[in-house]
Amino acid sequence: MARRSPAAFPSLIDADFEEFGASGRRWDRPAIVALLAEVPPADVTIEAFTAAPLTGHVVLVTYRSIARAPGVPARHAWRSSVWVRRDGRWLIRFHQGTPAVAGEPVSR
């Protein structure tokens, strides 16, 4: 939902945000905000979503995503994010995407 509202998305990103993308590129907060403002949102399905508290203010989120956009093959990825609670708000601090095999079972 945040990707469809670019004006709201930056408010969810921690100042120290870092991403290791499936492309092998490393992103910081300014770079990812600029990229997401340029790229049209894809239709994304999420499977196998889990949220595991690491502390009272840190949560590890993992899931598998399938992104579909017109004229482009579907992209499957395993994703993990670390969210931190700061000043009463949950912010994404770290994110990583790893390509996944289409059709691979999502159960453990």
Nearest-angstrom CA–CA distance, 10 and 85: 15
pLDDT 10s digits, 45-92: 999 999 999 999 999 999 999 999 888 899 999 999 999 999 999 999
**38 vs 108, more confident:** 38
CATH 3.10.450.50: does it fit domain 12-97? yes
Per-residue pLDDT reduced to its tens digit, 22-45: 888 999 999 999 988 888 777 999
What does pTM read for this prediction? 0.83
Instruction: Give residue limits of the domains in the chain.
Output: 12-97
Angle at 98 between CA 71 and CA 39, to 5 degrees: 40
Return the half-sphere exposure (C-beta side, CA atoms, 13 A cut-off) of residue 77.
18
d(C-alpha 55, C-alpha 97), whole Å: 23
